[in-house]
Amino acid sequence: MKRVKTFIFPAVLVIGLAVFALTGRDAASGADYTLDREPEVIAATFSSAWCSSCKILKPRLAEVMPDFADKPVKFVELDFTFGERGDIEDQARAEGLEQIYPRFKGATGFTLLVDRETGEILDSLTVSYDKNAMRSAIAQAIAIAARNEAIDGD
């Protein structure tokens, strides 16, 4: 029996890593979905390895992400595990989050849904959101950002 347990754990670990690698996700952001156009919504997760809320939020969000693979949303992670570093601020700026970053830097345990065009926070996902509520909030944020873009484009 002990031999079986010794074999099962490494096997499950290898299978899990293979599935993770084959789903197109990267370790830094949880997803690396590319779009043919600029995303309308940035889903920015403020996280750290020591954050207990993140340990609940991130796996739920990871299950929801594939539902939006072909939608105009980009999932990014701002990881504060090692503190507030300049590269995190650079990443936020590159993602169009320079307006909101100063207000939230260093805080963890939530995902902000941000209209990339306006910088407006459309919603904030927390551990109180189950997977269905996350899906709904992200879909609604995309709809709002698309409507804002259509109004600005007229």
CA distance 11 to 24: 21
Q: Report pLDDT digits (tens) over 26-37.
A: 333 344 444 455
CA distance 54 to 111: 10
| Model confidence, pTM | 0.73
Can you say how many angstroms the Cα of residue 102 is from the centroid of all Cα atoms in its chain? 19
Residue 147 has pLDDT above 90, yes or no: no
Q: Please, what is the Cα angle at 26 between 139 and 58, to 5 degrees?
A: 50
Torsion angle of C-alpha atoms 114, 118, 120, 126, degrees rounded to 10: 0
CATH architecture of 24-153: 3-Layer(aba) Sandwich (3.40)
CA distance 53 to 65: 18
Confidence of residue 25 (pLDDT cuts 50, 70, 90): very low
The gap between the terminal CA atoms of the chain, to the nearest Å, is 69
Asked if 137 contacts 113 with a C-beta cutoff of 8 angstroms, the reply is yes
Confidence of residue 69 (pLDDT cuts 50, 70, 90): very high
Burial class (CB within 10 angstroms; exposed 0-12, middle 13-18, buried 19+) of 105: middle
Residue 76 has pLDDT above 60, yes or no: yes
CA distance 124 to 45: 9
Asked if 25 contacts 32 with a C-beta cutoff of 8 angstroms, the reply is yes
